[in-house]
A and B are shown apart, each in its own frame.
Chain A
Amino acid sequence: MLTAFDKRLLNIIQTDLPLESRPFAVLALRLDTEESVVIERLKVLKEQGFIRRIGPFFDSSKLGYIGTLVALEVTNVHIPQVAAVINSEYGVTHNYERDGIFNLWFTLFSHNQSEQNEILKKIGNLTGVVRLINLPATQKFKVSVQFTLL
């Protein structure tokens, strides 16, 4: 269970990890506690799985990567093997089975368009893949995975 302190800590650290020599001391000041308490609590929250990752989150397009969302219609029996090939791609970050005609959805980051085309061609030709549609973004309005814990 998360304590009231944990929730305050998580709410702050979700948006604001200071770029300063002693970041946890800065957070401790805001939370009216000691640096060592912040560090110990973060270790526990990481170990218990509440925190997935701490650090900088980069804008992929500003680092020169191109991203896309891809939907596949796959015959049910072939889903595990198709999913395994998709997962083996380094630039695939999310791969979910979903309800609907298009039952496998993944996100892919590539260095350039021809690399993306090559990967999608390979996946589209896998046994069991009935159809593949590529849905690159035309506009991004929000990417912000933050949850206010009350």
Chain B
Amino acid sequence: MLDELDKSIIAIMQEDFPLVPEPYRAIADKLGISEEELLLRLKQYRQSKKIRKMGAVLRHREVGYAANALCAWIVPDERIQEVGEMFAKIAVVTHCYARVTQPGWPYNFYTMLHANTREQCTIIAKKLADQAGLQDYIMLFSTKEWKKNSMQYFKNNNK
């Protein structure tokens, strides 16, 4: 279970990471705890997989991946595990989930693809389809970004 200090740490770690020689000390000072305690807790979160990665996320448009496509697939239930593991290994696939279907919406598997252009996304999706032997998929290209940010955990009324 997370205690109040955990929640404060997680909330403050969503803010800009201090680009100074001792960033963890700077954060710990703000929290009123020691640098050692902060590092200890962060290491515990990483060990328990609460932190899935410690690092930077780039703006993909700026680093040359201007196009992204959400691909929705129909994968036979008995093949979901196999296809999921196969697609997860592919670098340009950044997200890969099996999801529920809804009436009139038979797609049960989703991948996010990133490439320089839409055409490249289309080629990659075709390759994935061939590799997995899947025929039924659609590419949902984004036409406008209305919102994109990181989740601000534990900042809403301290919940």
Residues on A facing B (Cβ under 8 Å): 2, 10, 13-25, 35, 39, 42-43, 46, 48-60, 62-65, 69, 71, 83, 86-87, 90-100, 102, 104-106, 109, 111, 133-149
Contact = CB atoms under 8 A, between A and B. Distances in A.
A84 to B, nearest CB: 8
A5 to B, nearest CB: 15
A10 B140 CA distance: 29
A57 B52 contact: yes
Contact of A53 (B35, B48, B56): B56
Please classify how large the interface on chain B is, using the bins under 10, 10 to 19, 20 to 34, 35 or more. 35 or more
Contact of A51 (B59, B142, B159): B59
Given A19-B46, A50-B62, A147-B60, A55 B80 contact: no
A65 to B, nearest CB: 7
Contacts, number: 235
A28 B92 CA distance: 28
Given A59-B50, A106-B147, A14 B56 contact: yes
A106 B49 CA distance: 25
B120 interface: no
Given A50-B58, A86-B147, A149-B63, A35 B21 contact: yes
Contacts of B159: 111
Contacts of A148: 91
A87 B145 CA distance: 11
Given A22-B21, A145-B57, A93 B93 contact: no
